[in-house]
């Protein structure tokens, strides 16, 4: 609730919200992680999970959540939200998702029940392909994540493995288009060299 109010005030007044010109992006090599279908979580056979370590400077004169919102919006990833990550395995069958860690630390498990644990901290960005399972294992009390979706995204959903027919999930994931832009680096971002 507090973050929703803060986001609204920033949008209306501009206080604490940077413009795209105020952002400083650093060139980062993407760390990638591939996950196979495990029979419950479809994962994504074509697109790996991508992690950029601190690709944007979190200038203290701006709200760190607003920094990620501005960055993602400038690169055509929208419908942003501010929250944390669910503590149960879920995935998206109609869209890809990116997460910017605005504050705190997080240990997340990606790839389903036998997936991989990844440590994330303030400043990091993770791009989760459609179908890739994710949940938090451990998070700091101050954790704040900004999530967003590509402009050409399909329908949003967030099923647990038990809430969707596995064959249907696989079909839906296979239909999701690649994004037109990298959420951090735009049209020429390193995302396209790995996807």
Evaluate whether residue 59 is within a structural domain.
yes
Evaluate whether residue 138 is within a structural domain.
yes
Evaluate whether residue 131 is within a structural domain.
yes
Q: Residue 114's domain is classified under what CATH number?
A: 2.60.120.10
Cα 23 to its chain centre, rounded Å, is 19
CB contact burial 150-169 (16+ within 10 A = b; e otherwise): beebbeebebebeebeeeeb
Evaluate whether residue 169 is within a structural domain.
yes
State the burial class of residue 94 (Cβ atoms within 10 Å of its Cβ: 0-12, 13-18, 19+): middle
pTM of the model: 0.92
For the chain, the domain total comes to 1
Evaluate whether residue 113 is within a structural domain.
yes
Evaluate whether residue 192 is within a structural domain.
no
So what's the pLDDT on residue 194?
96
Retrieve residue 14's tokens.
């501009």
SS3 track for 77-117: EEEEEEECCCCCCECCCCCCEEEEEEECEEEEEECCCCCEE
So what's the pLDDT on residue 101?
98
Q: Which of 129, 131, 75, 127 has the alpha carbon at shortest distance from 101?
A: 127
Contact partners, residue 162, CB within 8 Å, separation at least 6:
40
Q: In which domain, by residue range, is 33 found?
A: 2-186
Per-residue pLDDT 10s for the chain (195 aa) are 667 666 665 565 556 789 999 999 999 999 999 999 999 999 999 999 999 999 999 999 999 999 999 999 999 999 999 999 999 999 999 999 999 999 999 999 999 999 999 999 999 999 999 999 999 999 999 999 999 999 987 889 999 999 999 999 999 999 999 999 999 999 999 999 999
So what's the pLDDT on residue 169?
97
So what's the pLDDT on residue 17?
85
CA atoms of 139 and 17, how far apart (whole Å): 25
Q: Which of 45, 50, 44, 32 has the alpha carbon at shortest distance from 132?
A: 44
Evaluate whether residue 109 is within a structural domain.
yes
- Return the number of other C-beta atoms located less than 10 Å from residue 147's C-beta: 19
Evaluate whether residue 194 is within a structural domain.
no
Alpha-carbon dihedral 173, 133, 95, 151, rounded to 10 degrees = -150
């Amino acid at each position: 609730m507090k973050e929703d109010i803060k986001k609204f005030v920033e949008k209306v007044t501009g206080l604490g919200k940077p413009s795209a010109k105020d952002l400083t992006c650093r060139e980062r090599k993407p760390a990638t992680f591939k996950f196979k279908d495990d029979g419950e979580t479809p994962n994504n056979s074509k697109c790996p999970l991508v992690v950029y370590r601190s690709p944007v400077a979190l200038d203290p004169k701006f709200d760190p959540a607003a920094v990620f919102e501005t960055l993602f919006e400038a690169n055509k990833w929208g419908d942003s939200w501010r929250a944390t990550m669910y503590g149960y395995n879920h995935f998206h069958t109609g869209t890809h998702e990116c997460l910017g860690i605005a504050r705190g630390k997080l240990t997340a498990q990606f790839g389903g029940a036998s997936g991989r644990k990844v440590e994330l901290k303030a400043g990091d960005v993770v791009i989760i392909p459609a179908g890739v399972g994710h949940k938090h294992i451990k998070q700091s009390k101050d954790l704040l994540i900004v999530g967003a979706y590509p402009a050409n995204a399909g329908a949003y959903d967030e099923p647990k493995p038990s809430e969707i027919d596995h064959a249907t999930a696989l079909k839906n994931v296979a239909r999701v288009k690649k994004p037109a832009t990298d959420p951090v680096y735009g049209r020429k971002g390193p995302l396209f060299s790995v996807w």
